[in-house]
């Protein structure tokens, strides 16, 4: 440990650091910050964090809801829906995504219909069977 | 509504003792803005001396200063209370150095001062917003602890967010 380590943000426990990160505007933003250091990476990448992040933003509606539509939907169906960086996403983006991901569009709710897409955003609508 | 109650509130005083032995005499109405103190008062009733082994005098003093300000502003039945509180909060966090900020935040959290935790976490978040990864590391003196190549991989994976 360097001498001034106790003055650093690292002294905050996970709970408090999460409280700080919840206050950032949206997911895209956050995924930047996974590359800050290992701790931030593991905090931000955890599904538990993402769920709470979304709940936080739902609760504090004073900010414009600028996180992605998919994340919004995720709250209601409890699936890792937002991660569509996948092999199959080339269907939507017209080019393969950089990561050959383990997250695939099968994670979409079975009753959802893709209305349109733009970059990492999908517009879904519940289909009437 | 019985008699015309001119505020004859007998202000009970509590004694708060910090980890380093520093004590503060505070009105109950002020101290109970902190959830932890409120619980202790409700549970233990008549106890007037409360020991707080996890906060030192410096930060307890600051937390109480905040509580006092907010308690006073809230009893003044002026219209612009919210505005006054906001303005005062802004002043309160403006010049905090990082060391004080984090220790104060931990103290507020330990004492369950929810509003103060909100204020301070918001302050830290404001230091993050709009910054690039390198700038974050610079601001918070964080060293990248990834193995060679790992960081690149993460960035690549998230490149959709960098567009």
Domain that holds residue B68: 13-142
If you average pLDDT over residues A74-89, what whole number do you get?
Answer: 41
Task: Specify the length of chain B in residues.
Answer: 163
ipTM: 0.84
- Cβ of A35 within 8 Å of Cβ of B159? The answer is no
- Cβ of B133 within 8 Å of Cβ of A35? The answer is yes
pLDDT of residue A89: 45
Quote the strand ranges of chain A, DSSP E: 112-118, 121-126
Which residue is listed with tokens 């960086």? A85
- B119: nearest CA partner in chain A: A20
- Cβ of B158 within 8 Å of Cβ of A10? The answer is no
B158 touching chain A per CB within 8 A: yes
Number of domains in chain B: 1
pLDDT of residue A88: 44
B79 touching chain A per CB within 8 A: no
Residue A120: its chain B contacts at CB < 8 A?
160-161
> Which residues, 6 or more positions from A71, have their beta carbon under 8 angstroms from its beta carbon?
A26, A27, A50, A54, A82
Tell me, what CATH number does B63's domain have?
A: 3.30.710.10
Residue B141: its chain A contacts at CB < 8 A?
4, 8
Asked whether residue B53 is assigned to any structural domain, the reply reads: yes
- Cβ of A33 within 8 Å of Cβ of B156? The answer is no
Asked whether residue B6 is assigned to any structural domain, the reply reads: no
**Of residues A32, A97, A119, nearest to B133 (C-beta):** A32
pLDDT of residue B76: 60
Residue A113 C-alpha, separation from nearest chain B C-alpha, in angstroms: 23
**CA gap B36, A92 in Å, rounded:** 52
A29 touching chain B per CB within 8 A: yes
- Cβ of B141 within 8 Å of Cβ of A4? The answer is yes
Asked whether residue B84 is assigned to any structural domain, the reply reads: yes
Contact A65, A72 (CB under 8 A): yes
- If residue B24 lies in a helix (H) or strand (E), which one and from where to where? strand B23-27
No. of H helices and E strands in chain A?
6, 2
Asked whether residue B69 is assigned to any structural domain, the reply reads: yes
**CA gap B163, A28 in Å, rounded:** 10
Asked whether residue B31 is assigned to any structural domain, the reply reads: yes
- B134: nearest CA partner in chain A: A36
Interface size between A and B, measured as CB pairs under 8 A: 96
If you average pLDDT over residues A65-75, what whole number do you get?
Answer: 43
Burial B77-97 (b: 16+ CB within 10 A, else e): eeeeeeebbeeebeebbeebe
Asked whether residue B66 is assigned to any structural domain, the reply reads: yes
Which residues are B28's β-sheet partners? none
pLDDT of chain B along its 163 residues, tens only? 444 445 555 678 999 999 999 999 999 999 999 999 998 888 876 668 899 999 999 999 999 999 999 887 766 656 677 888 889 999 999 989 999 999 999 999 999 999 999 999 999 999 999 899 999 999 999 999 999 889 888 888 877 655 5
- Cβ of B140 within 8 Å of Cβ of A21? The answer is no
Asked whether residue B148 is assigned to any structural domain, the reply reads: no
Mutate to test the interface with A, among B116, B121, B129 (most CBs of A within 10 A): B121
Asked whether residue B154 is assigned to any structural domain, the reply reads: no
- What letter would DSSP give residue B142? P
């Amino acid at each position: 440990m360097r001498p001034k380590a106790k003055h650093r943000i690292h002294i905050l426990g996970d709970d408090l650091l999460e409280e700080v990160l919840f206050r950032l505007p949206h997911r895209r933003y956050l995924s930047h910050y996974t590359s800050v250091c290992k701790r931030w990476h593991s905090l931000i990448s955890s599904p538990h964090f993402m769920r709470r992040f979304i709940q936080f933003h739902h609760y504090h509606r004073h900010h414009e809801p600028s996180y992605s539509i998919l994340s919004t939907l995720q709250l209601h169906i409890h699936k890792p829906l937002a991660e569509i960086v996948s092999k199959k996403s080339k269907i939507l983006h017209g080019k393969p995504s950089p990561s050959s991901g383990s997250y695939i569009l099968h994670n979409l709710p079975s009753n959802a219909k893709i209305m349109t897409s733009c970059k990492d955003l999908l517009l879904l609508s519940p289909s009437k069977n | 509504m019985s008699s015309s109650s001119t505020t004859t509130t007998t202000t009970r005083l509590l004694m708060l003792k910090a980890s380093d032995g520093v004590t503060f005499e505070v009105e109950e109405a002020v101290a109970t803005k902190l959830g932890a103190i409120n619980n202790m008062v409700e549970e233990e009733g008549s106890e007037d001396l409360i020991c707080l082994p996890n906060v030192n005098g410096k930060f307890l003093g600051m937390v109480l200063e905040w509580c006092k300000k907010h308690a006073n502003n809230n009893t003044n039945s002026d219209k612009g209370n919210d505005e006054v509180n906001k303005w005062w909060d802004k002043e309160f966090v403006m010049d905090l150095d990082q060391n004080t900020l984090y220790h104060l935040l931990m103290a507020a959290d330990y004492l369950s001062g929810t509003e103060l935790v909100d204020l301070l976490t918001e302050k830290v978040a404001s230091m993050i917003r709009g910054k690039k990864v390198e700038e974050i590391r610079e601001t918070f003196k964080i060293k990248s602890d990834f193995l060679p190549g790992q960081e690149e991989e993460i960035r690549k994976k998230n490149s959709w967010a960098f567009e």
